[in-house]
Structure formats: structure tokens, C-alpha cells
Structure 1
């Protein structure tokens, strides 16, 4: 035995074991210890199945959610793991932990103080959770932080100034919370800060941008969209030497855009920052870093600075929806990287930069709703990448650039309401990707092409121009056409039968032309048509009976032609909202379904028409010639004299009896009633109203009273009377509702808000008299059939509202709410927006009703409530935890109405335990297609895009965080892009290819914590 072996054998076994352990790799011991820590952490979180890879049979460095450096755990990444418990202090037992990512979970509670023990923590991401309360004032104890993301939570209070004491911080993200203080100027002390994101914090106190932000020399991205900023953009921003993205959209900034904002003028600052400049320093140095600028939706005024043209890396310039004046600098046409140029809705004048698109790969060009003149730039599509050119509602003139005709990428061209002339470039009729071509209200001439028409064109609007010639039979190749508006032109010849083969066609307007001949007697594929206007032409012959078989037709106008013969009996199957057959040569009896006052003007100037009833201004129809001569003149005269005598005696007796009764009754009752009128002329008295409050006239009943239909002094005209419950002492709550309704409806006037004619009150009872809405409430049309079926009642003649009508209703209701929120001073919150409070007139135009819960906002834009009020399924979630509310609760409720219109579901019937909004979010988050959610009764291929868009808009409106919901003005803007506004003219703004200027951030959706699959596609597709 060697000496070595002898020496080993003499060592005690326990000491030998210790030596062996010491000789083992340190990493194995470390990982074993950290494995125990992490398994304990997993247990404290309730062992979520999503981190099943954490087990005792493997080491932490092999787990996919763990990063290691030199065998020690340095990073934990548990984003989207369905963690629902608080963060235990165990996590900081990992002595080398530098990165902790717990984003997109359900972690509750306040900011965890236990994280202060993670002494080496550099990256902390707690975004998209349920954290509440304040960010602690001693946050600066985490002095090693380089990355801090607390966005998408429910943090409130002030943003602590101590954040400005985190010297290593490079990224700070505080977006989408409930902060109600101000943005601390101390953030300007973060000398290493590169990313500062805090958009969608609309509850912040109105404040100016801190001038100290100009000291952030390394800042690359400043994102402060919708943070209640006021005042001017600081001149100190010229010190942001590294800035690449500046987004200050949707605030209340005012004043001019500083002319030298993005130029470096202080050369000493430049030298100190780079420390490596050599050679000659130029007198003016251009800031070449800026890539994106978004100052849209503010109140900025003055000129667009010439210096913008010197930003050589600029790709996005959004200045739309401001008060900018003057011309667009020609230098903007020289920017080599410019892709998106949006300056619509300003007061700009002058001509457009002629070189726009020549030097860059321009994709979006939007200058609509200004006062621009001259022609469109010739080179807009020189790169071949332009998707949209939108320049409607200006004073532009000349011919369209020929380059647009060769632009294969173009998806939409909207230049209506200008003074363009000449012929349309041939390529625009044949573009493979073109989906909408909107040229109405110009001076264009020429003819429609006879071959190679655009296959994907869905919207063609060329009304009120000088187009001539025949409509070619090749229009049958426009298989995707949904809207064809060609009113007020010089088209002649016959209407080709091939036009009736367009199965997707929804709207066809050819009125005010010179079309002649007979209509095609056979209609091939107009199954989706809901609007047909052929008026003011020279059409003749019989009206085809096939028109009466169109299942979706709502608007039909054939007036001002030479049609003859009878009205087809098949017209009786139509359910028209509007019919006009006047000024023709029609004869015979009108279908009985039209024998009511709704169609009183539909048959004027047709001398040979008659009606089966005397309701309309038409002669009475007789079954045979002898009907009118059956009785001799002597017999008729005798009957007439006897009838008059009997009637006279009866009237006199009734008069004296009723007069005496009324005198006694009025003396007792009318003295106690007071009528307050809100309109100059009323066609009724309080006596007429009171006498007709009978059960026979009852049309509705609710929590606050009954509603009656009362006839006025004008035959066939009615008013609706809401009677607050008659008790010995009027309930205090009902009294407040009555006062609120009178105060608000008595002063506001809008075509989409129900008209309050007068109020009639006594000591114990209140009456509110409104204009009568013949089609009652929206919820009866959407859900009445289902409720009657559920109760076992039969359904007779239930008509399903088609999509165009639903869209018209949505637009009307949005117009009413937009008026209340944005045009009333101070703004008015309805607080009970729901489908039963949206009433419909004879043409299905919407009126907002029932203002018993409405409130007028305070000067600070918030309303302090002492109690919750509203309807289940429509109430915004913030009602449960805050006493201050604003207009966004109406936006939420209107979002539910949009979901009702698109899905057909009731607001409280998502499923067993959820509301409609919660159901819609959950279904969307599960990855199901939007089509699966749409109402099967009305879904048609031609409506899919519009219905899907409105459904997505409903989702965004029902976002959990109020600050992420759009305003009603923005909601209305999007809805108008897909449907008719006043005058039945479509106003569309980029919705065919991009509506992201209004809803440009996926963080609109990030507040909905139940949704883990929501991404940018929802927002950007809207």
C-alpha cells in the first residue's frame, strides 16, 4: 500500500464525505437550492398547469421559463401563465435574479414591496395584471432597474416623483392605468431613459408637458397619446437628440407646432452628447433620427413647419384633426422615407406638394376635409405601393393623375366633393386590387369601359358628374360590387339585364339620368338589393313583377318616368321603408298593403290609379261599373236627408250632456293640472291627453310608469304620453327622474333625440308628452320574437331588421349621443343607454329616449355619483368601484347595443353566468372567427366586412378601462364610414384600407384580462 492510500485510509469517513461534497461543482448545489425555491414558488401560486415543466426530476436551468448564467437563475419569464395569486417574497430568495416577467396574468393586489429584496433586479414586467393602488413613493429603492413595465393595470393616484431617481432606467412603461395626478417633471432626470410609454391615461389632471423632458438626451420613443395634455409643445423638445417616435395624439394641445422643434440648434449640447465630433461643425444640424410623428386629434393651429421636410428618416406624419392653416410645405414631398401622410380635417389651403410620392414609397395619402386647391400630385404612386388616396371635400381641380391609373397596389380612391374634370384614367376601371372608387360631385366625363373591368371593386360612386353613354353589359364582371351610385349623370340607353346578375349588389342609384326603354323583366341575382332608385329617367313599359320578389328591398323609387300598366300584385310582399311611384302613367288598384298614410305621397300624379279604401288621396276603386249607380238619385237623396236629421239631433243632445259634464269635471280636475310647453304650437290640450289615458291606449309599461298612445286634433297623428306612477305622494326617486327629463329634453334639440313636446303636472302625478315613434323601441325588433317564442306565444308577421337598417339605427343613435357628449355645454351623460331606450320612427330613424337618469357633467368632466343606476348587461364595470364617472359609461353601453345589433343576442344572455360583452370578448379570445359571432338571420356575404367591423367596434367600446374606449365622436366617424349619413350619402375616410388613425394601438384591447389571444389584428382591422 502506498503512502497516499495509507494517508487516505487514516481519514475519518465523515470528513472524507465532506471533502467529496466540497469538491462537487458549485453549480449543482446552487441549482438544487434554487430548484427548491422555485418549486415552493410554484406551490404558493397554486401549481398552475401552465408551468408543468417545473418538477423535481430536472434542474431549473433546463426549464423553458428560466434563464441561467453560470449555473445560477438570473431570469424568470412567466408571461400568460394564468397566475391568479399575489407575488410571494420567495421569488427574491433567488440571489442572482435580474429579470422577472409576469405580464398578462391575473395577479391582484398592490405593488409588491417584497420585490425590494431582489437586490439585483434589472428587468421587471408586471404589465396586464390586476394591480391596484398607488405606485409606492420609495420605488427608487430598486436602484438597479433598467426596464420597468407597469402598463395595463389599475394603478391610481399620482405617478411618484421618485421614479426620477432610478439612474439606470432605460425603459419606463406606465400606459393604460387609472392615474389621476400629473406626470412628474422629475422623469426628465432619467439621463439613460430611451423608451417612455404612458398613453391612454385619460384620468390624469390636465397639465402641460414638463419642459424638463427636453433633457432626455437618449430618449428614442415618447408615447403620451390621450394623457390629458394641454398647452403648447415645449421648445425644449429641440434637445431630444435621439428621438425616433413622438406620439402626442388625442390630447388638448394647442398653439403652433414649433418651427425648430426637430432641429438641433445648441451645438454645445450636441458636442457634449457625442464627445467625438471632429472637423467643422455645420451651422445647422438636422435631426435625422425621427421616424414617426403623431400629433393628431389636438387643437394645434398655425402652419405646418417647413423644417418637417428635413427629417430624412420620417416614415409616418399624422397631423389630422387639428386646426392647422396655411399651405402644405413643398419640402414634405422631398422626404425619402415617407410612407404615411395624413393631414385630413384641418383648415389647410393652397396646393399640394408636387413631388409627393416621387422620392419615397408612399402608401397612405389622406388630405380630405380641407380647403386645398390645384391638382393631385402626379407621382403619388411612383413607387407602386400606394394603397389609398383620400382627398374628398376640398377645392381640387384638373384631371386625375395618369399615374393613378397604373397603380396596381391602389385599394381605394376617394376624391368626391371637388372640382375634378376630364376622363377617368382607364386603369382605375380595371385595377386588380381596387375595392372602392368614389368620384361623386365632380365634373368628370367620358363613358364606362366596355371590357376588363375591376374584378374586386365593391363600391363605385360616380354620382353628379357628366358621364354619358350606355351602361355596358360587361358590368356583369363586377362580381364583388356592393354599392353602385351613378345618380345625376347623362347615361342613356337601356338598363342591361347583366346588371341584375350582380349578386352582392346592395345599393343601386341610377336616378337623374337619360335611361330609356323597359326594365329587364327577369332579375337574375338581386337577392341582396335593399335600395333601388331609378327615378327621373325616361323608362317605360310595365314595372317588372320580379321587383316585388326581392327579399331585402327597403327603398324603391321609380318616380318621374313613363311606366304604365298596373302596380304588380307582388309588390304586396315587400316590406318597404320608402316607396315612390309618383309621376308615371300607372293605372289600376294599388296593393292593399300600401293603403295607409305612410305611403300617402307614393302615388301622386298617376291619374288612373285608385285605392280600395279612402285613406289615401286617390279615387275609390269599384269592382264593376254598376256599383256606383245601384241606387236611384231619389232614394239616395231621401237617405241623405234622414241621416242628416238624425245626426243633428244626436249631436245636439250629446253636446249639451257632455258640456255640462266637462264643466263640472274641468272645474274639479283641470284646475290642478299645469301644462308647460317646450314648442310654440301644440295640436292638443291637456284635456285631450287626460281623457285618453285609458287601458285601450296603453302601449308600454316600465319601472317608472305607463306609456299611452294619444290621438291629437290632427287626424292620424299621435303623441306618446309617459305617466309617472300616480300615488298619494310621488316617490322621491321618480320626482328626480321627472325633473331630470324635463330639464334636459326641454332644452336640447336634435333629430336623433326624442322630442319632448310638453309636460303636464299635478301634485300627485306627472305626464311627459313626446313625439310618437310608430316603430317603438329597438329591443322589440331585435329580441321580441325570441321572447314571445320563449313564453310559448305565437309570432305573427315578425320582420327581422336587415343589416342596412341596423347600421342606419346605429348611426342615428351614435349621432344623438355624440351631440350630448360633444356639442352640449356642459356635456350630458345619459347613464341608461340600451336598445329599449332607442326608439324608431316610421323610417326606422333612431331617437335616444328616457332621460330620467341623465346627468349634466361638472366642469372637470367627471360626475360624482352617490348610487349606481342603470340596466344590467349595459353597465360599465367602473360603476362598481368608483364614484366618479364620465361619458365613457355611455360609450360602454352603446358598445353593448352594437353587439346586440351584430350578434342578435340580448345584453344579459352571453351564457349562463356572463353578459353579452363578456361572452363576446371570451369567444373572440378563444380564436373563433368573427363570422361565428354574427346574427345568422341577417348575415350575408356582402355585409360581412361591415358587420365584422361594427362588432369589433362594439368590443373596443366595451373595453374594461374607460380610458381605452373611443369617444362617441370617433365611434360615429367609423360608423359613418360604412353607412348612410344625412342625405343618404356615404362619407368614408380610409376605412377600406386603414382606419388606424382613429384606433391605432392594440392597447385598446389589452385591458381585457380574460382575453389572452387578443392582438393588433382586432384594432387594425377596424
Structure 2
């Protein structure tokens, strides 16, 4: 018995020693782990995001990127840390590491980082949203302990290795948005523990959905959207008993929807939209837990099965853009959970169930472009949750439901092209969130309201029977951007109050009974882009104020009773469309309009004349002969003065004046440089002549000035002149100087210096030979002087993609690499300049804004920007953020892919709205592309960039990607080896198809 006692005593006295020894070993290992972290930081060149990784007494386990278990590092999460470089082998010196997340960075290597094979405990590996390239190795199955593997949104190439099917511990496999080739390996079907499988957006893979995948009995989430799937959906998909979420959208699947699909009792989400599926929707429905069904944009025929009325948990039903017909089952209207209903673009007929809105919290109700008759359901707005009612292009009649007048969440009401009558419910006009009200082509009656919703930006009410005067209260419609009240019975004069709308860009009042003279004070219409007052009885003269509307491009005053002369300065406007026909105008037309582009602009004005011969306008009389003779005699007398005496006097005066002028210039002008200059301020000032004028804008003129005998050029922007500067223009000048002098980037125009005096400010930039992007995209401007010679060429697709990438780089730098971030606020194709190699550079920072913090918005005192480019939240709320620029950039992407102008979608529709509608209606994307540049080899890329433009112009800022994400996407498309990858775009595309964006910005 003594031996155990001795042992116990020995252990008792020696245990502190062992504890101390263990504690010391633990401390050493902890120090080693911290050393590994600091070595990682150094390997990645000390990114700012890891500046807090410093040696200290504080344990590294407290660092936010680190998770420790019992004092040892088990998780390392470095997502979105702006890290560049490779994955070093010594990262596996963190022996207890089980989770490694390096997603959303700029990491790269040629091939999968095989060094990670040494991380023996690694179970969770996320390398997504990076720049890894090369192949995934065949022996990846050596990482047999992995439970989650995410390689999505990288540049890996080659085939998906079959050995991935040997990672039998995997619960989640994510390979989305990677340009793999070949086909999906059927061995993936051996991953018996797999619960989540993401193989979406692999456009270089063309394959069927392997039938072996249906062996994945534990699979809950299957996402294979946008991966060029062909063939039919396997019938055995009905055996995947655990399946909850199925997304096979945006593929080329054909055949019928398997009848067993809707028998899966755990199924809650079904996305099969944008395929070539045909036949009727399966009748049997046992998936009573189903939450969302999206079978839109296929070739489905037949009717909606009555069994859909049994889906009591259904919140969203999207069957739009098919060939479905028959009556919409009344039982659909009684579904208690229904929130979103999208059935537009079919051939549904009959009346709508009167129960829609009575039993559920309905938010979206979209039944446009069908053959529906009868009335809109009277209870549609009973629950007050509606955000959108889109019912245009039907045969609906009667009055609008009065319940709509109390739907304060309503953002869009579009009932165009029906047979509605009666008055609009009074509450509709002032709904607090209403932004789009479209009533055209009906038989509505009543008068225009004194007050409108403060958020209303678009009001279309043409081709109705609205009558009465335009109310004086129109001055309160402060956020209105687009007003079309043409072809009604409006009378009276155009009130001065209408000119007080600062954001109005489109105004159509043609084909009414308006009379009286035009308001003389219209200078406040600074945002006006299109004005049509034709076919009225307006009299008096054309106000000279039209000449000072800097954004006006389309003006129609035809078929009125206007008289007097055309203001000469009207020719200074860059009008693309002008119609002053059928009036009583007199005198000569401005010389700028004496060309073929305006040949039909002045018809039926007998007393108008032109200085140049024209088929439609009489030539103005020559000047009096006697006057010419008198002038000739006077000239001869002057020449008769003794030449020698006159020469001496003139020489003396010229020298004296020149010396005084140079001295005055030296005192009056101050030059501040930001670069090393090879010119003087006198070189610049002497070049500010009309012969060197190359452009005019709202804040000044731009000149092309030669600065040396070699004919090197600079661009000079003169902000104001001949008067004391206005406060607004001075702010713009100071903003541009502050921003451009503080940033350096190859895709932002270089500010060389500025020259200032008491009444004039000059900004001197590098000169870019190929001028601005809009000159190349605008068909009417293609035959123009560029780089000193006449060019009729068009930009091919590789050049356009190069320009998109360059502009995205500049904008991404402003948003993500400048501190504080910079928002441009007036991004448009005319502010993207091109050098001799067609490298893009962002210009014109006069209204740019520095934000206090990235991701935050700022409220501006006024909305600036150009029609077609302005983000809706900016126009409505004046809140500006980086996402406002993303919207404008999206419009530029749409211009590059379609060849259309930002304000030119179709009649009265912006390009962004037109693109949304084209996408939503399910028309072939290739039909939207610019016919002059689309070729078969570029179609996929062009379609991808077109869709990215749609995503960037999402109505909700939260649905738009950041410029960092946009740049990633474009860079991948700009690299032939990884052609076709769509990166983050797919996530935003899902918002495009399923979120609020479609409701807020209707295609019509």
C-alpha cells in the first residue's frame, strides 16, 4: 500500500511543474502562431486592412479576423481585405486551422494553391471572388477532410476534376462563375453527404444535367443557373427527397417539366425561368411547403393548374413571358400567403378574381400584356401593402379601385393601354411613395391636381380626356422629371409656375387646347431635355430664354400661332430635333440650322428665309446695292492715306498696346501648376479663340490649344468670363481643382494646371485626341472631326469593352481607393474621353462630391446630372452615394452594347427603362444589341455586358453591385482565356428577376 501513496505524493508535488511546463509550451505555440500571422501580413505587403496586426501584449485571438479555440487559431477569416498576392505554404504552420476564408480579395496564382494540402485539419476552405487561374489539380481528393469547398468566381480553367467526387465528407461544393470547360463530372453524384451544390454561370460548359446528380439524396440546395445546360430535366429528379431549393434558370433546357418535381414534399423554391421548356405545367402538386415558383420566360402552354390554389404557403408565383392562356384560377386570388404575382406577357383571358388583395398581404401585382377583361379587383389595395400594380396592355375597363388611394407603399401604378374610364381616385395623386404613375391611352376624365406625391418623378397621362387648366399648384410638383399630358383637352395658358420645376427633363403638352404666350422666364428649366408644345393655339414670340437651357436637345413648337423672329442664339443649342413648322415666324433662321439635318424644321412659315439656298425655305434678299457702293468708296478713301505714315503710326500703336497687354496679363492672371509644364500662361491665353473652340457645356467652353511648334495640344476649359463669377460656378471650379489635383490615375483625365483672374477661371488638361465617347456612339455624330481628321468609323466591340474596363477602373479608384471616396455625380458618355489608343479617361468633375465615408450617402441641395443617367433615388431624394455613379455607369454599358443614346430607349422612354422592359418581356437579348458591331464571336460577351448594365441600373441602390465588383466582372470578360464568366453579376441578376427592382422601375 505504500507504493501508491508515494506515487500520489509524487504526483501532488510535481503537478505544478507539469502545469508550468504545459503553460510554457502553450505560450511558445501561441507566439509561433502570432509570428505566422505577422509573416502573412508581410507576405501580402502589409495591407491597410491588417494594420492592427502588430506585436503586442494583447493576444492575437482578440483580432477580429481570428477565432481561437483553447488558445489556438482554428479559424482565419480574411474576406474582403484588399489582399493581393498568393497563398504561401507557411500558412499551414497554423496546425489547428480548420476554417480558412480568403474570399473577395485580389489573390492570384497559376493553379490551385497546392500548399494547402499540408493544412491537415482544414475542413472549410473559401477562395471565392479572387483571381486564381490555371487548373484545379486531379489529386484534390487529398484534402479528404474538407466539408465545405468554395472556389466560385475565379479564373480557373480546364475541366472540373472527376476526383472531386472522392471528397465524400463534403457538405457544400461551390464552383459557380468559373470558366471551366467540358462537362459536369457525373462523379459529383457520389458525394452522398452533399447538402449544397452551386455550379451556376459556367457559360463555357455545355452539358446536360447528369442523371447521377439525382443520387444526392441529402441535397437541399441545387443552383445550376446560367450554365448552358441542354436537354431535358431528368425524370428521376423527383427522387431527390431532401431538395428544398432548385434553380436551373437561364439555360437551354427543353422538354416538359417532370411531373415528379412538384411531388417533392420538402420543395420550397423552384426557379426554372429563361429556358426552352415546353408543354403544360404538371397538374399534380404535393409540394405543399412550396414558397416560390418561377417558371417564367419559357415556352409553356396550356393553363395554370387548379391545384396551384392548394399551395397555401406560396408567396411568389412568376409565370410571365410564356404562352399560357385561359382564365387565371380564382383560387390563386384566395392564397393566404401570396405576396408577389407576375403573370404578364401571356395570353390569359377572362376576368380577374375579385379576391386578389382580400386575403393576403399582396405587394406586387403584375398582369400586363394579356387579354384580360373586366375590372381590376376592388379589394386589390385593401391591405395597404401594394408596392406595384402593372396591368398595361389589356382590355380592362371601369374605374380604378378606390382602395388604391390608400396604398401608401405604392411606388408604381401602370395601367396604360386599357379602356379605363372615370376619374383617378383622389388619394392616388398624393401617395407618399408613388414614383411612377402611367395612365396613358385610356378614357380617364377630370382635372390635373393641385398637389402630387413628393416622390413622383414620372407622370404619363396622354391620350385621355383630362380637361381644365394647368393648376398654379403645379409649382409644388418639385421632383417631377417626366410629364406627358399630350392629346387631352387641357386649355388656358402655360402657367409661369410650371417653369419652376428644377428637375423636369421631359415635358409633352402637345395636342391640347392651350393658348396665350409662352412664359418669358424659363431659365429655371435647367434640366429640360425634351419639350413638345406642338398642335396647340400658343401665340406670341419664342422666348429668348430657350437659348439658355443647356440640356435641351429636342424642341417642338409646331402647329401653333407663334410669330416674330427665331432668337438668333437658339442655334447655339445642340439640338438633335427641332420642329417650328406651321407657325407665323418671320426673318432669317439661325445659320447653325442651315443644313440638311433641319430641312423639315421650318415648313409652312412663309415669311421665314435662309441665307443659304434651301428647297423648303426662301433665300433671304441680298443687301442694298447702293450701300455696297458707299462702302467701297469709303474703303478706297481709307486706302488712299499715305502708306508710310500710316505704317509708322500702326507699328507704334501695336508695339505699345502689346507691351501694355502683356504687362496687364502678367498682373491679371495667376498660374497654379500640378505637373511639370512645357508652356506658359501666355501660350494658353493666346489660344482661346473661336477657331479653337471644340465644345460647350453648362458651365463654360472648351478649347483645343497648340502649345509649341510641334503642335502638341492641351484642352482648356473656361469656366466663366466677362462678369463676376456666380457662386455656383465658383463652387464647381473649386470642386474640380480640389479633386483632380489630389488624385492620380491613368483612367482619370490629368489636370496640368489652372489659370485664374478676377472674372475668369481656366482649367488646363491633357488633350485626348479621340475626344469623347458620345461622339463615337451617336450615329449622327460619327462623321465628325476627330484627331484632326474626318472619321466615319465606328467602335468595334473589343474597343468598346476596352473603354468600359478603363472607365470602370477610374470609377473604382474614386470609390474604393480615395479617402474619402469621390462620387462623380455627372457620369455620362460625353464625360468619358478617349486618347489616341482609345484608352478611357473620366473627365468633368465640376459637380463631384467627396463623401465622408465609403458606403454612406449624402443629401445634396440640388440634383445635377443629365437625363437618362440620373439614378432614381438621387432624383427623388437628392441622396447621393457611390451607387448613384454605378447607375450612370450602367447606362453607359447599355449605350456601348446597344448603340442607343441614354435618353433614347423608344418614344418617351429612357434607355435604362427600355432595356429593363426588353429583358422583362423575354425578347432575345441579341435583338437589343447594336447591329453595326454585333458578330457571332462577340454575342455572349455583349449580352453579358448588356445584362450587367441592367443590373447596374436597378432601382434600389442595394441591388446594384459596387464598382469594385463591376470591374472584376468586366476584367474577366476582357480576358479571352476566361471568357464568359459572370462573377457577381448573377447575384444581382437574381434581384433583377425576383426583387423589388422590377416593381419600382417598370419597363413601361
Query: Relative to structure 1, is the Cα distance of residues 34 and 531 closer, same or farther in structure 2, using a 3 angstrom cutoff?
Result: same
The 8 Å contact of residues 445 and 466 in structure 1, kept in 2 or not, is answered as yes
Aligned match of 1:654: none
Map residues 726-737 of structure 1 onto 2, 5 A cutoff: none
The Cα offsets for residues 890-921 of structure 1, whole Å up to 9 and x where unpaired, read as: xxxxxxxx99735713256999x99769x9xx
Query: Relative to structure 1, is the Cα distance of residues 132 and 289 closer, same or farther in structure 2, using a 3 angstrom cutoff?
Result: farther
Aligned match of 1:601: 600
Map residues 527-542 of structure 1 onto 2, 5 A cutoff: 527-542=526-541
Query: Relative to structure 1, is the Cα distance of residues 593 and 405 closer, same or farther in structure 2, using a 3 angstrom cutoff?
Result: same
Query: Relative to structure 1, is the Cα distance of residues 334 and 1006 closer, same or farther in structure 2, using a 3 angstrom cutoff?
Result: farther
- Deviation (angstroms), 1:850: 7.5
Aligned match of 2:184: 183
- Deviation (angstroms), 1:460: 0.8
The 8 Å contact of residues 128 and 1006 in structure 1, kept in 2 or not, is answered as no
The 8 Å contact of residues 527 and 552 in structure 1, kept in 2 or not, is answered as yes
- Deviation (angstroms), 1:617: 3.2
The 8 Å contact of residues 405 and 428 in structure 2, kept in 1 or not, is answered as yes
The 8 Å contact of residues 431 and 454 in structure 1, kept in 2 or not, is answered as yes
Aligned match of 2:581: 582
The 8 Å contact of residues 566 and 588 in structure 1, kept in 2 or not, is answered as yes
Map residues 33-432 of structure 1 onto 2, 5 A cutoff: 33-40=29-36, 42-43=38-39, 46=42, 48=46, 50=50, 52-53=52-53, 55=55, 57-109=57-109, 110-204=111-205, 206-258=206-258, 261-264=261-264, 286-297=286-297, 303-322=303-322, 324=324, 326-346=326-346, 348-432=348-432
- Identify the match of residue 841 of structure 1 among 775, 780, 789: 780
Aligned match of 2:671: none
Aligned match of 1:481: 480
Task: Tell me, in whole angstroms, the C-alpha distance in 1 between the residues paired with 2:243 and 2:695.
Answer: 51
Task: Tell me, in whole angstroms, the C-alpha distance in 2 between the residues paired with 1:228 and 1:520.
Answer: 59
Query: Relative to structure 1, is the Cα distance of residues 521 and 257 closer, same or farther in structure 2, using a 3 angstrom cutoff?
Result: same
The 8 Å contact of residues 364 and 388 in structure 1, kept in 2 or not, is answered as yes
1:32 aligns to what SS in structure 2?
helix
Task: Tell me, in whole angstroms, the C-alpha distance in 1 between the residues paired with 2:455 and 2:576.
Answer: 30
- Deviation (angstroms), 1:409: 0.8
- Identify the match of residue 980 of structure 1 among 893, 904, 908: 904
- Deviation (angstroms), 1:178: 1.1
Query: Relative to structure 1, is the Cα distance of residues 478 and 114 closer, same or farther in structure 2, using a 3 angstrom cutoff?
Result: same
Task: Tell me, in whole angstroms, the C-alpha distance in 1 between the residues paired with 2:411 and 2:328.
Answer: 25
- Deviation (angstroms), 1:484: 0.9
Map residues 657-736 of structure 1 onto 2, 5 A cutoff: none
Query: Relative to structure 1, is the Cα distance of residues 915 and 38 closer, same or farther in structure 2, using a 3 angstrom cutoff?
Result: farther
The Cα offsets for residues 713-756 of structure 1, whole Å up to 9 and x where unpaired, read as: xxxxxxxxxxxxxxxxxxxxxxxxxxxxxxxxxxxxxxxxxxxx
The 8 Å contact of residues 362 and 386 in structure 2, kept in 1 or not, is answered as yes
The Cα offsets for residues 548-593 of structure 1, whole Å up to 9 and x where unpaired, read as: 4433332222221223344445545544322222222333444444
Q: How many residues align?
A: 771
1:564 aligns to what SS in structure 2?
strand
- Identify the match of residue 886 of structure 2 among 942, 948, 952: 952
2:469 corresponds to 1:470: yes
Task: Tell me, in whole angstroms, the C-alpha distance in 1 between the residues paired with 2:232 and 2:963.
Answer: 26
Query: Relative to structure 1, is the Cα distance of residues 539 and 980 closer, same or farther in structure 2, using a 3 angstrom cutoff?
Result: same
Aligned match of 2:832: 905
The Cα offsets for residues 588-634 of structure 1, whole Å up to 9 and x where unpaired, read as: 4444444444333223223333444443533444589x879999xxx
Query: Relative to structure 1, is the Cα distance of residues 338 and 240 closer, same or farther in structure 2, using a 3 angstrom cutoff?
Result: farther
1:355 aligns to what SS in structure 2?
coil
Query: Relative to structure 1, is the Cα distance of residues 616 and 119 closer, same or farther in structure 2, using a 3 angstrom cutoff?
Result: same
- Deviation (angstroms), 1:941: 12
What is the root-mean-square deviation of aligned Cα atoms in Å?
5.4
Task: Tell me, in whole angstroms, the C-alpha distance in 2 between the residues paired with 1:853 and 1:621.
Answer: 41
Task: Tell me, in whole angstroms, the C-alpha distance in 1 between the residues paired with 2:413 and 2:374.
Answer: 17
The 8 Å contact of residues 317 and 340 in structure 2, kept in 1 or not, is answered as yes
- Deviation (angstroms), 1:221: 2.8
- Identify the match of residue 927 of structure 1 among 842, 850, 854: 854
2:803 aligns to what SS in structure 1?
coil
Query: Relative to structure 1, is the Cα distance of residues 343 and 157 closer, same or farther in structure 2, using a 3 angstrom cutoff?
Result: farther
Map residues 606-685 of structure 1 onto 2, 5 A cutoff: 606-615=605-614, 617-622=616-621
The 8 Å contact of residues 553 and 575 in structure 1, kept in 2 or not, is answered as yes
Task: Tell me, in whole angstroms, the C-alpha distance in 2 between the residues paired with 1:81 and 1:853.
Answer: 37
Aligned match of 1:881: none
The Cα offsets for residues 793-835 of structure 1, whole Å up to 9 and x where unpaired, read as: 7889999xxxxxxxxxxxxxxxxxxxxxxxxxxxxxxxxx976
The 8 Å contact of residues 145 and 169 in structure 2, kept in 1 or not, is answered as yes
2:828 aligns to what SS in structure 1?
helix
Map residues 795-944 of structure 1 onto 2, 5 A cutoff: 837-838=776-777, 840-841=779-780, 873-874=802-803, 901-902=828-829, 904-907=831-834, 927=854, 943=870
The 8 Å contact of residues 238 and 260 in structure 1, kept in 2 or not, is answered as yes
- Deviation (angstroms), 1:411: 1.3
Query: Relative to structure 1, is the Cα distance of residues 490 and 144 closer, same or farther in structure 2, using a 3 angstrom cutoff?
Result: same
Unaligned runs of 5+ in 1: 268-282, 632-776, 800-832, 856-868, 878-897, 959-965
TM-score w.r.t. length of structure 2: 0.65
- Deviation (angstroms), 1:448: 1.6
1:130 aligns to what SS in structure 2?
coil
The Cα offsets for residues 101-157 of structure 1, whole Å up to 9 and x where unpaired, read as: 222233322223333333332211111222222323333333332222111211222
- Deviation (angstroms), 1:1008: 4.7
1:498 aligns to what SS in structure 2?
helix
Query: Relative to structure 1, is the Cα distance of residues 287 and 561 closer, same or farther in structure 2, using a 3 angstrom cutoff?
Result: same
2:169 aligns to what SS in structure 1?
coil
Query: Relative to structure 1, is the Cα distance of residues 307 and 545 closer, same or farther in structure 2, using a 3 angstrom cutoff?
Result: same
2:507 aligns to what SS in structure 1?
strand
The Cα offsets for residues 963-993 of structure 1, whole Å up to 9 and x where unpaired, read as: xxx9x799769x89x7333444555558999
The Cα offsets for residues 873-898 of structure 1, whole Å up to 9 and x where unpaired, read as: 43879xxxxxxxxxxxxxxxxxxxx9
1:586 aligns to what SS in structure 2?
strand
Task: Tell me, in whole angstroms, the C-alpha distance in 1 between the residues paired with 2:794 and 2:533.
Answer: 45
- Deviation (angstroms), 1:837: 4.8
Task: Tell me, in whole angstroms, the C-alpha distance in 1 between the residues paired with 2:621 and 2:367.
Answer: 62
TM-score w.r.t. length of structure 1: 0.64
- Deviation (angstroms), 1:208: 2.5
The 8 Å contact of residues 788 and 795 in structure 1, kept in 2 or not, is answered as yes
The 8 Å contact of residues 33 and 94 in structure 2, kept in 1 or not, is answered as yes
Query: Relative to structure 1, is the Cα distance of residues 31 and 432 closer, same or farther in structure 2, using a 3 angstrom cutoff?
Result: same
Aligned match of 1:564: 563
Task: Tell me, in whole angstroms, the C-alpha distance in 2 between the residues paired with 1:154 and 1:407.
Answer: 48
Task: Tell me, in whole angstroms, the C-alpha distance in 2 between the residues paired with 1:524 and 1:515.
Answer: 21
Aligned match of 1:650: none
1:475 aligns to what SS in structure 2?
helix
Task: Tell me, in whole angstroms, the C-alpha distance in 2 between the residues paired with 1:1004 and 1:346.
Answer: 37
2:90 aligns to what SS in structure 1?
helix
* Of 212-221 and 172-181, the range deviating more from structure 2: 212-221
